[in-house]
Amino acid sequence: MQWLQGWLDRSREQIPNGSDADVSGPAGSAAGGLGSILNALDWDHVREEVDRESRSRVVFIGASGAGKSTLLNTLKGSTVSPASATPEIQEELRVEDFGLFAIVDVPAHSPNGQLHEGETAWFVLTSADLIVWVLDGAAGLRAWEHEWICRLRALGRPLLIVLNKIDQVADQASVAELNRTLACTLFPIEARDFQSINAGLLPHLVEASPNLATPLGREVLGWRRTAAQRVINRSMLVSGLVGTEPAPLLDLPLQVLIQLRLVLRLGAIYGEPVNDRYSGELLVTMASSVALRYVSQQLVKLIPFVGWVVSGALAAGGTWAIGELAQKYFENGRQIPRPAVRVPRPRRPALRIRWPQVKWPALRMRWPRVKWWRRER
Ligand SMILES: Nc1nc2c(ncn2[C@@H]2O[C@H](COP(=O)(O)OP(=O)(O)O)[C@@H](O)[C@H]2O)c(=O)[nH]1
Ligand SMILES: [Mg+2]
């Protein structure tokens, strides 16, 4: 059993923390070895992890009037934070909390980026999974904003800077200048337009913090399908890589774990509470769709090299099939999609004889005989 333990330990070291294939955890490390894999299959452990992911936070921060409320309203598809054409004059940082999203309004003359421990804004920013500084493209970068951005970087949280109101920025050179000054790439958007956010911001949010795909899919209805596809593709990739492992049966628990997480994530995206009450029908359909694949995947591993690659492809295919099925299940309101009912078509006669339209008087004589022959059949 020592080689088995060694491989499991090595694979655990190679798998980065928080990835789909992560099998480490409090329960896992305590038991060690094969026990840790079995513990990783613990439903509660996996559920807790997906639940933690669903509670991620994105903070939009910037000057009053930069377009933070507009950005949030466009993402949500409704007015959750009223936008105002005239920026308010405020003395202190103001925080609005909307669950996944929070907005921090920074007063123009606040003591540049000074955050005090214990303040609400300090708490919101230090616990954020991603901070997005919204820069007003029409107003440009002001000195106090630059100072704030530098201090936020020092917090050590992932930080993105978006250049809003790009429709009011005529000069492309000024965008390049801003990129140089801030030493990063700014993402230009028009907060009032969902397409602009869809193409110019959402993919970058998920790239900066991959765990955001699940909560963003849940909160941003217009992006739900894309989020689900991203989650499926990511799991498929990890599953394929794990599937190329040469020893038969060793990757099986990991495959189950990856697929279990995938289903939980998809459930969370479609607003299903992360619990274990998924229908037996879903589980049976999923098990039957992958059972054969599992068997063939383990068998092809016996062929060196080519077999390992094929095994990876089969594993990825199985995870994709499960993801697609689960996505449709949640999309259909927890119903397994059925193929459309076929209406039986009327049976045609095997042989159809088309009688020529004969108008030539000499041939008219033959008609009665032909008709009689047809009736006999
Ligand atoms: N032209 C243009 N105006 C915008 C854009 N985004 C927001 N605004 C306007 O900017 C003003 C301030 O927006 P608001 O969302 O209240 O900013 P906040 O104070 O940062 O929340 C409002 O009048 C918005 O209509 C944009 O992309 N283009
Ligand atoms: Mg606002």
And the tokens for 41? Answer: 């299959």
Give the confidence band of 16 by pLDDT, cuts at 50, 70, 90: very low
For the Cβ of 169 lying below 6 angstroms from any atom of ligand 1, the answer is no
Proximal ligand: closest to the CA of 61:
1
One-letter amino acid for residue 163 of the chain? L
Instruction: Please tell me which residue, 59 or 257, carries the higher pLDDT value.
Output: 59
pLDDT for 98 beyond 90: yes
pLDDT for 330 beyond 50: yes
Q: How many other CB atoms are found less than 10 A from the CB of residue 4?
A: 14
**Bridge partners, 164 (sequence order):** 136
One-letter amino acid for residue 361 of the chain? P
Least confident of 58-67, 107-116, 339-348: 339-348
And the tokens for 201? Answer: 């911001």
pLDDT for 167 beyond 70: yes
Give the confidence band of 19 by pLDDT, cuts at 50, 70, 90: very low
Q: Which of 251, 225, 362 is nearest to 315 (CA)?
A: 251
Compute CA distances 315 → 124, 310, 326, whole Å. 40, 9, 17
Q: What is the pLDDT of residue 358?
A: 56
Give the confidence band of 365 by pLDDT, cuts at 50, 70, 90: low
User: 59, 102 in Cβ contact below 8 A?
Assistant: yes
Q: What is the pLDDT of residue 50?
A: 85
Residue 273 sits at the vertex; the CA angle it makes with 28 and 231, to the nearest 5 degrees, is 70
Q: What is the pLDDT of residue 248?
A: 87
Instruction: Please tell me which residue, 271 or 160, carries the higher pLDDT value.
Output: 160
Average predicted confidence (pLDDT) for the chain: 81
Q: Which residues of 74-112 are buried (b: 16+ CB within 10 A; e: fewer)?
A: bbbeeeebebeeeeeeeeebebbeeebbbbbbbbeebee
Q: Where are the beta strands (DSSP E) in 66-222?
A: 94-98, 101-106, 130-136, 159-164, 187-188
Mean pLDDT comparison of 26-35, 66-75, 116-125, 291-300, highest-scoring range? 66-75
pLDDT for 22 beyond 60: no
Q: What is the pLDDT of residue 5?
A: 43
Q: What is the pLDDT of residue 133?
A: 97
Q: Which of 162, 147, 154, 144 is nearest to 66 (CA)?
A: 162
For atom 7 of ligand 1, the residue with the nearest CA is 67
Q: Look at domain 57-208 and name its CATH class.
A: alpha beta
Q: What is the pLDDT of residue 367?
A: 52
Quick one: which atom of ligand 1 is closest to the CA of 87?
19
Q: How far apart are CA 334 and CA 337, in angstroms?
A: 9
DSSP-derived 3-state class of residue 163: strand
For the Cβ of 85 lying below 6 angstroms from any atom of ligand 1, the answer is yes
Q: Which residues contact 114 (CB under 8 A, 6 or more apart)?
A: 151
Least confident of 21-25, 254-258, 341-345: 21-25
Q: What is the pLDDT of residue 351?
A: 58
Q: Which of 46, 89, 31 is nearest to 65 (CA)?
A: 89
User: Nearest 5°: phi and psi at 230?
Assistant: -60, -45
Q: Tell me what the mean pLDDT of segment 176-193 comes to.
A: 95
By percentage, how much of the chain surpasses pLDDT 70? 74
Mean pLDDT comparison of 105-109, 224-228, 302-306, highest-scoring range? 224-228
Q: How far is the CA of 217 from the centre of ligand 1 (A)?
A: 24
User: 281, 336 in Cβ contact below 8 A?
Assistant: yes
DSSP-derived 3-state class of residue 132: strand
And the tokens for 323? Answer: 């993801």
Domains of the chain by residue range: 2-38+223-331, 57-208
**Bridge partners, 101 (sequence order):** 58, 98
Q: How far is the CA of 164 from the centre of ligand 1 (A)?
A: 8
Q: How far is CA 91 from the centre of its chain?
A: 39
Q: What is the pLDDT of residue 292?
A: 80
Q: How far apart are CA 233 and CA 147, in angstroms?
A: 39
User: 15, 23 in Cβ contact below 8 A?
Assistant: yes
Quick one: which atom of ligand 1 is closest to the CA of 103?
21
How many residues would you count in the chain?
377
For the Cβ of 74 lying below 6 angstroms from any atom of ligand 1, the answer is no
Give the confidence band of 113 by pLDDT, cuts at 50, 70, 90: low
pLDDT for 199 beyond 60: yes
Q: What does the pLDDT look like over 43-87, one tens digit per residue? A: 677 788 888 888 899 999 999 999 999 999 999 999 999 999 887
Compute CA distances 243 → 95, 293, 318, whole Å. 46, 12, 10
Instruction: Please tell me which residue, 344 or 147, carries the higher pLDDT value.
Output: 147
